[in-house]
Chains A and B, each alone.
Chain A
Amino acid sequence: MSATPEESPGREEKPFLWVTRPLATAAKQFVKSLWRPSTVVYPFERLEDPKFRGEVAVASGKPIGVGEIWDNYRGVHALNINTCISCNLCAFSCPDVCIEMVTVPGGDPKHPKKCPQIDYGKCSFCGFCSDACPEGCLSMTTRYELSVHKREEMVYSPARMFEVYKSKLPMNPIRVERPANEDQILLDPPICIGCNACSRDCPTQCITMLDIAKPTAKPGEKLPKRIWKEPVINDSDCVRCGTCISVCPKDCLFWGTRQ
């Protein structure tokens, strides 16, 4: 058996110390926190407030190193409505299906402008949406205060996220790079009917419908009923949103690499 506490060398009974040492410790703590206890009076001051860090924490001799929110913090989203191209990529990439594309003013009747609306009741703050956003207009900020009174208030409309954007909070700078040899949109020409759907719905307007020569029908051959145009995709403008693929009525667009 190991020695009982009474027998072990450092802990023999010293009744006087037994009382005075804790008293001294508590008194030291008391003096230390007399001016300012460590408590951060949260709603009134925040660890990351420059005022708090500069004037209070440092002035009282305890700069709090953990105070700054990490730049990479994934908090509430900021959305720049002005640069959003309604590509839908954010909604596609969301694993929790919490993004709904809602119409915002600014589009034309044919191309209503749609921006993401995020339900923070479902959001897991994974950041996939902001990674996916080709324009960098959806980004995650350091704002962490999400308490609300009602469930509906957890849904952030684009306008609300625009407000967050305008508050110029630090944004998460880390963004997944797009691979250099990303797949492109390719066309299967024989199936295309030249309907213009892809060109119409491309958010970056990078699809141009070019005329193609109408072949002369050989005897007995029936020419397909179609418009004699074909989409040509300006690959440097394409953001790989896949809208064209999903709107194509003939499924003639697909992902691939040009040989």
Chain B
Amino acid sequence: MSNVSLYSVAYTLSSVLLGALAHLFPAPIHGWLISGTVVTALAAVIFAAILLLASMLNTILLIWYERKLLGRFMDRRGAMHVGYAGLLQNFADGLKLFRKDTVRPGQADPLGFWLSPTAYMVTSLVIFGLLPISTGWNGGSLPLTLLLALVIFSFAPLFIFLGAWASNNKYSLIGGMRSAAQMIAYEVPILLAVVAVVVLAGTFDLNTIVLEQRNYWFWAPLFLALIVFLTGMLAEMERIPFDLPEAEAELVEGWNTEYGGMLFAFFMLADYLRALVGSILVVLLFLGGWTLPSYVPAALTSFPLAGIVWFMVKTYLVFGLFVWVRASLPRIRTDQLLRLGWMRMVPLALLSVLLAALVVLSHCLPLIGCVPSMGG
């Protein structure tokens, strides 16, 4: 499992492809084609393509998963007819959206209007590429991956606001404004919760953070931080109960009111991609990433691709939690969100930073006991 990495797969694929292609050409081109640079370049492209495919497939699956889960929460079945249990329904929906004409309102600003969905999508994809899914599946190991991911994650309201402003529609604009206002409420608690994790792990590198959880997953000492992070992520993804910018009851469709067809599909996909990324972050930071506790029988952790499988299971469970919240809670108001963010989440997050510091200093875990090797 650990010696098969995504990049090595891409590299092998690339060299095989180029090797086969090179046979068709005479010497100079042949040599150039199988040179290291070209093979590496193609490998990078293949790598990116695999990432793109994986992210899109997962996103669409996630939509299906949410529809089914939400159905059960509401005592109904969700999509049923296209594919097995409606599995292909979203592909059909996507196909329909992609075939539609994209209409730009006459008074809308073309640059902002086209740019915003694209940027929204691209930034979401970039975060997905940054996050390690398993030991083999790793887009890149920078020392500050976590910070980079969070920074890109918080770009979104910017693009939402851009698109909303460019649409030249009052509902879009209100939605965009709300999105920007909402950001003030959740960014600080999220970062503070992450600080708690970082204090415990001693690094910003996601790979190391996961490895640091080999003895205990971070949610145990940092339960408060987990709650704050989950809530903040809900707001970050703009999902119910924090979907103020969309608020279809008041704002038509919020900031994407004017977007239709393919652009709407872009927003939709990016929304769920962000939900996926948010769930992945929760799994990485608090739930031990692709690792399982040591008391789990080895048979469950040693089959090929076990890391990815367990990671995905955890991610989907976390997303299930978000769906559960969506099925239960009503949307709250902006002032309530701000109050929640500043008066509840920030103190809780600060408290969990304190807890993390205590754990590191005392090498002790509440409820679990003292382990000398504990803490970053």
Chain A residues packing against B (C-beta within 8 Å): 15, 19, 22-23, 25-27, 29-30, 32-34, 37-39, 41
Contacts of A22 in B (CB 8 A): 328-330
**B72 contacts the other chain (Cβ, under 8 Å)?**
yes
Residue contact B324 to A27, C-beta cutoff 8 Å: yes
25 contacts between A and B (CB under 8 A): A22-B330, A23-B324, A23-B328, A23-B329, A25-B328, A26-B327, A26-B328, A27-B324, A29-B72, A29-B74, A29-B75, A30-B324, A30-B327, A33-B72, A33-B73, A33-B76, A37-B71, A37-B72, A37-B75, A37-B77, A38-B75, A38-B76, A39-B75, A39-B76, A41-B77
- Alpha-carbon distance between A25 and B327 when the two chains are bound, in angstroms: 10
**B325 contacts the other chain (Cβ, under 8 Å)?**
yes
Residue contact A23 to B75, C-beta cutoff 8 Å: no
Q: Which among A19, A29, A41 is the interface contact of B73 at CB below 8 angstroms?
A: A29
0 or 1 for each of B307-350: is its CB under 8 Å from A? (1 = yes): 00000000000000000110111100000000000001000000
Contacts of B80 in A (CB 8 A): 41
Contacts of B325 in A (CB 8 A): 23
Q: Which among B75, B329, B330, B344 is the interface contact of A33 at CB below 8 angstroms?
A: B75
Residue contact B72 to A30, C-beta cutoff 8 Å: yes
**Would you give the shortest CB distance from B200 to chain A, in whole angstroms?**
26
- Alpha-carbon distance between A27 and B77 when the two chains are bound, in angstroms: 16
| Chain A residue with Cβ nearest B340 | A15
Contacts of A25 in B (CB 8 A): 328
Chain B residues packing against A (C-beta within 8 Å): 71-77, 80, 324-325, 327-330, 344
- Alpha-carbon distance between A39 and B329 when the two chains are bound, in angstroms: 23
Contacts of B75 in A (CB 8 A): 29, 32-33, 37-39
**Would you give the shortest CB distance from B332 to chain A, in whole angstroms?**
10
- Alpha-carbon distance between A69 and B71 when the two chains are bound, in angstroms: 27
Residue contact A26 to B73, C-beta cutoff 8 Å: yes
Given contacts A29-B73, A38-B76, 17 further A-B contacts (CB under 8 A): A15-B344, A22-B330, A26-B73, A26-B327, A26-B328, A29-B74, A29-B75, A30-B72, A30-B73, A32-B75, A33-B72, A33-B73, A33-B76, A34-B72, A37-B72, A37-B77, A39-B75
Contacts of A32 in B (CB 8 A): 75
- Alpha-carbon distance between A27 and B74 when the two chains are bound, in angstroms: 10
The 5 closest A-B pairs by CB, nearest first: A22-B328, A26-B328, A33-B75, A26-B327, A23-B328
- Alpha-carbon distance between A25 and B344 when the two chains are bound, in angstroms: 24
- Alpha-carbon distance between A32 and B71 when the two chains are bound, in angstroms: 12
Contacts of A37 in B (CB 8 A): 71-72, 75-77
| Chain B residue with Cβ nearest A20 | B328
Contacts of A26 in B (CB 8 A): 73, 324, 327-328
Residue contact A39 to B328, C-beta cutoff 8 Å: no
| Chain B residue with Cβ nearest A24 | B328
**Would you give the shortest CB distance from B244 to chain A, in whole angstroms?**
17
Contacts of B327 in A (CB 8 A): 26, 30
**Would you give the shortest CB distance from A166 to chain B, in whole angstroms?**
31
- Alpha-carbon distance between A18 and B14 when the two chains are bound, in angstroms: 55
Contacts of A19 in B (CB 8 A): 329
Contacts of A34 in B (CB 8 A): 72
Residue with the highest number of chain B CB atoms closer than 10 Å, among A15, A26, A39, A41:
A26
- Alpha-carbon distance between A37 and B324 when the two chains are bound, in angstroms: 16
- Alpha-carbon distance between A97 and B74 when the two chains are bound, in angstroms: 46
Contacts of B74 in A (CB 8 A): 29
| Chain B residue with Cβ nearest A19 | B329
- Alpha-carbon distance between A27 and B325 when the two chains are bound, in angstroms: 10
**Would you give the shortest CB distance from B52 to chain A, in whole angstroms?**
33
- Alpha-carbon distance between A39 and B74 when the two chains are bound, in angstroms: 10
| Chain B residue with Cβ nearest A23 | B328
**Would you give the shortest CB distance from A5 to chain B, in whole angstroms?**
14
- Alpha-carbon distance between A22 and B74 when the two chains are bound, in angstroms: 12
- Alpha-carbon distance between A28 and B374 when the two chains are bound, in angstroms: 39
| Chain A residue with Cβ nearest B330 | A22
Contacts of B72 in A (CB 8 A): 29-30, 33-34, 37
| Chain A residue with Cβ nearest B324 | A26
- Alpha-carbon distance between A33 and B68 when the two chains are bound, in angstroms: 12
**Would you give the shortest CB distance from A90 to chain B, in whole angstroms?**
40
Contacts of A29 in B (CB 8 A): 72-75
**Would you give the shortest CB distance from A65 to chain B, in whole angstroms?**
17
Residue with the highest number of chain B CB atoms closer than 10 Å, among A30, A37, A41:
A30
Contacts of A23 in B (CB 8 A): 324-325, 328-329
- Alpha-carbon distance between A23 and B324 when the two chains are bound, in angstroms: 7
**Would you give the shortest CB distance from B311 to chain A, in whole angstroms?**
24
**Would you give the shortest CB distance from B274 to chain A, in whole angstroms?**
23
- Alpha-carbon distance between A22 and B75 when the two chains are bound, in angstroms: 15
